[in-house]
Amino acid sequence: MANLQEKLQYLKEVAGNPGKQLAQYLRQGRQVIGTFPYYTPEVLADAAGIVPMGMWGAQTEISQARKYLVAFACPIMQSCMELGLNGTYHGVKAVMIPSMCDTLRCVTQDFKLGVRDIACIPFTYPQNRKIPAAAAYLKAEFTQVKERIEEIYQVAIEEEAVQKSIAVYNEHNVQMRRFAKLANDHLDVVTPIVRHEVFKSAWFMTKAEHLEIMKEINDSLETLPAHIFAGKKVILTGITAEPEGLLQILEDQNLAVAGDDLAQEMRQYRTDIPEGDDGIGRLAGQWMNRTDPMAHDDEIKRLELLGNLLKDNDAQALIVCLMKFCDPEEYEFVAYNKYIKSLGYPVLSIDIDQQPGAYDQARTRIQTLAEML
């Protein structure tokens, strides 16, 4: 148990201070590349020995970024621009930015113009994923990303190294899914905040490093007797469930997170990189298989996914962490809100922002939900 707590504490520190983690890698002589949310081909950087680090913004006041983005732009993109402009990302040579929504498309150009000391590597995912041309197109996009990384970092990305990195990423997926399952038997240890810190820390470490820690955490959890949780369980969906003050409200109301479909957390780990002899082709194939609001499907598969999460994890309610001004998330909310309620589960939507401030309104609404369950 002591070793388990030490590992969880370490991941807490990484999740809470990515700047410190960045400085540590730079002191070690490692090169770092920034990865904007979300689904960047970071395997290509990892294969070259470059550390991919997630850029998810921060709770910060927006000032300089207002010169580039309108006030109703995605809060994550606003804070990422602010951090880039104020020098917080100093030491990062380049950033990969997927243009999956209107704001991200703008940011690919805004970042290039405003943050001159960090190279920008934009790329586009195909939305119509049912035709062969989509895979060929994405493979070409990823090939350009690979060439830009090689040019900027003066490295060679070899096929064998890409295949090895893919194996690590897939094994990391397995361990994160394992953790999500084990956590539900140990909700006394894996509180909403702890669960979030474990997932978030993976964005600021190499996957190989995080993988080894996750193996130890999972092995330790398996040795513990199952805990009978006396409170209620909820499922989270959205982009992120931050800041931690929001998760603290859940803990205060004796609500446990039994599962999630958050972009920052479990959503990225549900789809493995498929098998094959062509590394870049395999990375392209993963996008073709994903289920995500940012990826077009003829039907909204999220309905069944959320319904199963509630049922399979014996949860009592769905909490929607709805990022302000996020059109793709808001579009799907209408459909799954109606569907989940038709199954008999309450749905609570909470606005998520990255501006510092109190969550008094959220506290009142979550407290009301807890009293209803």
pLDDT digits (tens, 9 = 90+) for 96-146: 999 988 888 889 999 999 999 999 999 999 988 888 899 999 999 999 999
Q: Using N-to-C axis directions, what is the helix angle for 159-183 and 279-289, rounded to 10°? A: 30
- Is residue 2's pLDDT more than 90? no
* pLDDT confidence bin for 360, thresholds 50/70/90: confident
pLDDT digits (tens, 9 = 90+) for 196-213: 999 999 999 999 999 999
> Which amino acid does the sequence have at 258?
A
User: Which domains are assigned to the chain?
Assistant: 30-153 (3.40.50.11890)
List residues bridging with 52 in a β-sheet. Answer: 33
pLDDT digits (tens, 9 = 90+) for 272-282: 999 999 999 99
**Residue 249 near residue 363 (C-beta atoms within 8 A):** yes
* pLDDT confidence bin for 1, thresholds 50/70/90: low
CA distance 74 to 267: 19
pLDDT digits (tens, 9 = 90+) for 319-359: 999 988 888 888 899 999 999 999 999 999 998 886 666 67
pLDDT recorded at residue 103: 87
**Residue 244 near residue 268 (C-beta atoms within 8 A):** no
Percent of the chain scoring above 90 in pLDDT:
80
pLDDT recorded at residue 357: 65
Q: Write the CB contacts of 217 (distance below 8 Å, at least 6 apart in sequence).
A: 4, 7, 8, 179, 198
**Residue 37 near residue 263 (C-beta atoms within 8 A):** yes
* pLDDT confidence bin for 296, thresholds 50/70/90: confident
pLDDT digits (tens, 9 = 90+) for 205-245: 999 999 999 999 999 999 999 999 999 999 999 999 988 88
